[in-house]
Structure 1
Amino acid sequence: MSKYISSNRNLLVMHGTVVIWGFTGILGNLITVSSVHLVWYRVLIAFLTLFIYFKATKTPLKADRNTVIKFFLTGAIVGAHWIFFFQSIKSSTVSVALVCLSSVTLFTAILEPLINRKKVSKLEIFIGLTIITGIFMIFKFESRYTLGISFGLLCAFCASLFSIINSRQVKKHPPQLISFYEMTGAWFWISLFLLLSGGFNSSMKLHISDTIYLVILGTVCTSVAYVAGVSVMKELSAFRVALITNLEPVYGIVLAFLFFGKREHMTAGFYAGTLIILGSIFLYSYLRNRVIKGKVSRHALAG
């Protein structure tokens, strides 16, 4: 009975975490500073919050020099991912940005075999082509948001890239450690960019509402959500976590409608493309799980 209650609690925590991730798009639309400045503040607040968390829990932050350099370089990709995400929102809508972010599956299907030198999956190619169809429909029917869609796809490309890199690192290092140094790295590289481009100027000035939204974004939507997401992975299967995570665009679009109403209204073609993309992602998760179970069963019979 206690195991059942624990499982349900973890499911609720995971769904709550994904809702919070979807809420980042709402905050990104409400914050008035540029995307680069927004992400600079976000990662600053996030890594400081995580630092406090590590100190409070007495978790060591030790890592060798080469590892820290790798994390810092990956942090540049993480920072670019968030900048493109918020720029996509500011150039289009929250709904467009979140749907484009769903194409991470497509980019991973292409990049992972190249980076990890693994065999190309026929299933991933099929799902990837289906997602391309959905993206094409969105481009066709929402041509006024071409710039926002382009930034959204760049955001997804970066997300896929650092996810593949982190899938290797997480086997050697605690995920909390990876997150802390990557966020610190993201802040470092964005700071360097702002310094060289003269970005540290009066346009960074925050309104009171911006400050409140950024604190929520950096603490609740980044640090707290990350720790919560990692904690439930101890009991929930990777498949269940992936399936729930795929709901982020759904939750995000619903929240966008609640907050912005008609501003988030799209054409029928957009929703058709969205259904194709999201349907492909859920189909991929389902079929991949079936394939894995089939391999395990055959292995057990052979043994």
Structure 2
Amino acid sequence: MQESRLKNYLLLHLVVFIWGFTAILGALITIDAIPLVFFRMTLAVVFIALYFIFKKKSFKVDKKGLTKFLFTGIIIATHWIFFFKAIKVSNVSVALVTMSTAAFFTSLIEPIFFKRKIKALEILLGLLVILGLYIIFNFESEYKLGIIYALISSFLGSLFSVLNGLFIKKYDANRISFYQLLFGTLFVTIYLLVNNQFSISFFDLKQSDWIYLFILSSVCTAYAFIISVQVMKYLSPYTVIITNNLEPIYAIILALFIFGDKEKMNSEFYLGATIVLGVVLLNGILKNKSAIKQKAKLRLKPKK
């Protein structure tokens, strides 16, 4: 059992490292954000479909589910478009630190859908995140557009995650992912068709871009998703939450090694980033402690 936990803990760290590498690939790929998302989602749908066929999984979903996945598929596609736009107009470090505001947005969105009160502590932590962003925004003015794009992406990502928190109660995680990616692909395809952007040159990419897109769609999207679901069977929510919060840290360190001077920022950026990332980690710890206390109360509650 202990060996199994260690194996899955290492797999979780691998997945978080892979997710951090997504931003690096976004910076390395030379095409614009919208074509990038089109290729990423299209290839990922193919890979997950092959996984379904290999594992003999059912594609069947009811009509209500398909409508929900259509809506959230559009959200995830738009979320990725703004994420990659943020990287293209700024850099990996700025985009990922700003994306860490997702916890704050989630604290505002989640009570609406789950019908609970907004907690004062979550608002306080959210204000600290805003303080960190203000410091970055104030001293890194050349990256303002990237910060705005990343904030939009962060909000859409939070909305997408909260909605999936509702869907997972009824639907299989693999099917949710497959149909959301499929509908996201159709949404981007329609946009490209309406704007007459499909041509021979659209598919005439550099060899390095095809290689990076293959890695992005197979390893960073299809594979990472499947493994992330698998490890949840063996690891506690605390372990998963804390480890996931290491994603921007992994990515920023990778970016410094790969892109060098382009990723080096002034001291105020690192002060703001420390505040934002510190709040994200603290939020994960506090949320987990609250969940543990709640479970303990339920266990101690006498049965009728």
- TM-score bin (small chain): over 0.9
Question: Which residue pairs with 1:268 in the alignment?
Answer: 267
In 1, the alpha carbon distance for the partners of 2:183 and 2:299 equals: 44
Question: Aligned partners of 1:143, 1:125: CA distance in 2, in Å?
Answer: 26
State the shift of 1:299 in Å: 4.5
User: Relative to structure 2, which stretch is displaced further, 253-262 or 199-208?
Assistant: 199-208
SS in 2 for 1:61: coil
> 1:146, 1:96 → 2: CA distance?
9
Instruction: Report the CA distance between 1:296 and its aligned residue.
Output: 3.6
In the alignment, the residues of structure 2 paired with residue 285 and residue 32 of structure 1 have an alpha-carbon distance, to the nearest angstrom, of: 35
* SS in structure 1 at match of 2:169: coil
Quote the residue 1:291 is aligned against. Answer: 290
Give the distance between the partners of 1:124 and 1:204, measured in 2 at CA.
Answer: 45
Task: After TM superposition, list the pairs within 5 Å mapping 1:128-167 onto structure 2.
Answer: 128-167=126-165
Q: Does structure 1 retain, via aligned residues, the 8 Å contact 2:237–2:288?
A: no
Is 1:66 the counterpart of 2:32 in the alignment? no
Give structure 1 regions of 4+ aligned residues with deviation exceeding 6 angstroms: none
**Aligned ranges 1:24-43 → 2 under 5 Å:** 24-43=22-41
Distance 2:273 2:295 in 1: 33
Residue identity matched to 1:268: S
**Residues 229, 297 of structure 1: alpha-carbon distance in 2 compared, 3 angstrom cutoff:** closer
> What residue is the counterpart of 1:218 in the other structure?
217
Q: Distance in 2 between matches of 1:288 and 1:50?
A: 32
Q: Is the 8 A contact 1:84 1:152 kept in 2?
A: yes
CA contact (8 A) 1:123 1:284 kept: no
Structure 2: segments with no counterpart, 5+ residues: none
Q: Please list the CA deviations of residues 210-261 of structure 1 after superposition, one character each: whole Å capped at 9, or x if unmatched.
A: 1111001000110001111110001111221111010000000011011101
Number of residue pairs matched by the alignment = 301
1:32 alignment partner, SS class: coil
Per-residue CA shift, 1:127-179, capped at 9, x if unaligned?
11111111111111111000001111111001000001100001111111000
Amino acid at match of 1:238: P
Matched, 1:10 2:3: no
Q: Give the CA deviation at 1:116.
A: 2.8
Tell me, in whole angstroms, the C-alpha distance in 1 between the residues paired with 2:209 and 2:300. Answer: 59
* Amino acid corresponding to residue 267 of structure 2 in structure 1: A
Instruction: Output aligned runs, 1:119-268, within 5 Å.
Output: 119-201=117-199, 202-268=201-267
* Equivalent-residue separation in structure 1 for 2:217 and 2:296 (angstroms): 44
Gaps of 5+ in 1: none
TM-score, L = length of structure 2: 0.96
Flag the 1:53–1:67 CA change in 2: closer, same or farther, 3 A: same
Q: Does the CA contact (< 8 Å) of 1:33 and 1:204 recur in 2?
A: no
SS at match of 1:241: helix
Q: How far is the alpha carbon of 1:114 from its aligned partner?
A: 2.2
State the match for 1:117 in structure 2: 115
* Distance in 1 between residues matched to 2:296 and 2:109, nearest whole Å: 29
Distance 1:300 1:212 in 2: 51
| 1:50/1:180 contact within 8 Å kept | yes
* Pairwise CA RMSD: 1.2
- Following superposition, the deviation at residue 205 of structure 1 comes to 2.7
The Cα shift of 1:267 comes to 1.0
Query: Following the alignment from structure 1 to structure 2, what is the Cα–Cα distance between the partners of residues 210 and 300?
Result: 53
Displacement of 1:115: 2.9
What corresponds to 2:90 in structure 1? 92
Letter in 2 for 1:10: N
What's the offset of the Cα at 1:117? 2.4
Q: Letter of the aligned partner of 1:5 in structure 2? A: E
